[in-house]
């Protein structure tokens, strides 16, 4: 997740919802917060149902753990027992691949634990003199002012009052709608604020001072405004495999460290025996540093700041094999097939849109092993079809449930010619 990192609403497709007096023929409708096989009383409008009552609950239904469940737009699968919930997520990957006529071995999924998420995108709204901070409500722009968040690290939850105070200075302009992108790092919270009206000049000097004072009072490591420094007490640092990275403002990180470690270990195991590997869409080095423990690595990403941070962190992990890092827009300028001549394996971890152009170049290359990491089964399946048509077999897939109780599922797949 990209992900857009704020929690989102999932609506499960079920076979039939009964509706009395509305003249609608029974048919498939989307009924939020239900489970397959349940009988519910609902008002049906077009293809959506407003569920009024659960008449016959599923045996798989459990009690949600969060007080904001049902109002907050996130964690929309919190009412589902863990085993069928995880099976449903794996099924989404299987179905996406089936649409491209691809079958493979599905491994047991990695499941993130509650309280493990280190990144949040918190929306702020001001009502009178009070600031509300949280997530959007289901199917509306209304904001749910959260007090707890069971998926988030306890340090993030504990910081909510200080984050509300931090948001106050960012409401100078009536059109400003701040979003606080908060990352828990080894040196404290790193906060990047977006959504500030800039046509009027952005945040004033007085507003910046007040924001810095709130950041100091909250003991935040750093606060930036769309990447521009407002306050820094300590450089935000994160551990990435064997390396320690100075995090650029607004950088992408895997949401759950344990999920990052599981995916990293799987990727390294997949390329065992390779001497030269490319890590494409590398970010700050999620896989690069782990791969460099066993092979020389060429790393590329469109973010020049991320690549600089990766290169600077190489010295923090002695004993690594050679790393060459390049800022390169792989969507517009993918690594070409001739450039892969000396590579034994390619790892690619694109954004949600997938790696259409890059997959085409891998297909045209002579590389015998590719590992794809994805947060979108649909685009992964599309790219997998390109590789399959070039003679690759998708040998196995590791499903990753990193965004707990949401509909999102990630995966790592191993392709071999």
Beta bridge partners of 180: 122, 193
Of 410, 401, 399, the residue nearest 111 (C-alpha):
401
User: Residue 406 in contact with residue 8, Cβ under 8 Å?
Assistant: yes
Of 320, 255, 256, the residue nearest 289 (C-alpha):
320
360 vs 18, 125, 355, 375, 386, CA distance in Å? Answer: 47, 44, 8, 19, 7
Given the DSSP bridges, would you call strands 345-348 and 276-280 parallel, antiparallel or unpaired? parallel
Triad 181, 182, 186: Cα angle to 5°:
145
Of 7, 163, 122, the residue nearest 70 (C-alpha):
7
Which residues does the annotation mark as catalytic? Answer: 375
Which two tokens mark 278?
Answer: 């490319």
Cα torsion angle, 137, 141, 145, 148, sign = positive
Which two tokens mark 183?
Answer: 């990352």
| Close Cβ partners of 212 (under 8 Å, ≥ 6 residues apart) | 223, 230, 231
Beta bridge partners of 56: 39
The beta-carbon contacts of 167-171 under 8 Å, at least 24 apart in sequence, are 167/124, 167/131, 167/133, 167/193, 168/126, 168/131, 168/210, 168/214, 169/203, 169/207, 169/208, 169/210, 169/211, 169/214, 170/124, 170/196, 170/203, 170/207, 170/211, 171/124, 171/126, 171/131
């Amino acid at each position: 997740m990209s992900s857009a990192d704020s929690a989102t609403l999932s609506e499960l497709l079920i076979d039939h919802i009964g509706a009395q007096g509305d003249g609608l023929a029974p048919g498939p409708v989307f009924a939020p917060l239900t489970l397959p096989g349940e009988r519910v009383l609902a008002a049906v409008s077009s293809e959506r149902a407003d569920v009024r009552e659960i008449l016959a609950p599923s045996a798989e239904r459990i009690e949600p753990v969060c007080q904001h469940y049902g109002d907050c737009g996130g964690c929309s699968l919190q009412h589902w027992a863990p085993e069928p919930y995880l099976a449903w997520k794996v099924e989404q990957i299987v179905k996406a691949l089936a649409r491209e006529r691809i079958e493979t071995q599905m491994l047991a999924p990695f499941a993130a634990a509650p309280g493990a998420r280190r990144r949040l995108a918190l929306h702020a709204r001001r009502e009178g003199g009070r600031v509300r901070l949280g997530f959007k409500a289901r199917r509306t722009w209304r904001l749910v002012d959260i007090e707890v968040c069971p998926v988030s690290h306890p340090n993030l939850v504990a910081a909510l009052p200080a984050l509300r105070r931090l948001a106050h200075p960012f409401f100078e302009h009536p059109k400003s709608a701040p979003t606080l992108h908060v990352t828990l790092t080894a040196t404290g919270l790193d906060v990047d604020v977006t959504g500030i009206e800039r046509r009027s000049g952005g945040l004033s000097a007085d507003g910046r001072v007040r924001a810095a004072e709130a950041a100091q009072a909250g003991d935040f490591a750093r606060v930036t405004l769309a990447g521009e420094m407002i306050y820094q007490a300590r450089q935000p640092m994160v551990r990435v495999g064997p390396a320690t990275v100075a995090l650029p403002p607004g950088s992408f990180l895997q949401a759950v460290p344990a999920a990052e470690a599981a995916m990293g270990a799987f990727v390294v195991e997949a390329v065992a025996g390779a001497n030269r590997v490319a890590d494409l869409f590398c970010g700050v080095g999620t896989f690069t540093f782990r791969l460099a423990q066993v092979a020389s690595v060429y790393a590329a990403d469109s973010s020049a700041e991320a690549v600089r941070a990766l290169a600077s962190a190489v010295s923090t992990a002695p004993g690594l094999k050679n790393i060459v890092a390049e800022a390169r827009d792989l969507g517009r300028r993918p690594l070409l097939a001739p450039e892969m001549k000396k590579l034994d394996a390619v790892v690619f971890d694109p954004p949600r849109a997938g790696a259409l152009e890059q997959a085409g170049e891998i297909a045209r290359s002579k590389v015998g092993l590719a590992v794809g990491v994805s947060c979108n089964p649909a685009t992964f399946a599309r790219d997998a079809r390109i590789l399959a048509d070039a003679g690759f077999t998708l040998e196995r897939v590791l499903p990753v449930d990193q965004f707990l109780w949401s509909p999102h599922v990630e995966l790592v797949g191993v392709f071999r010619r």
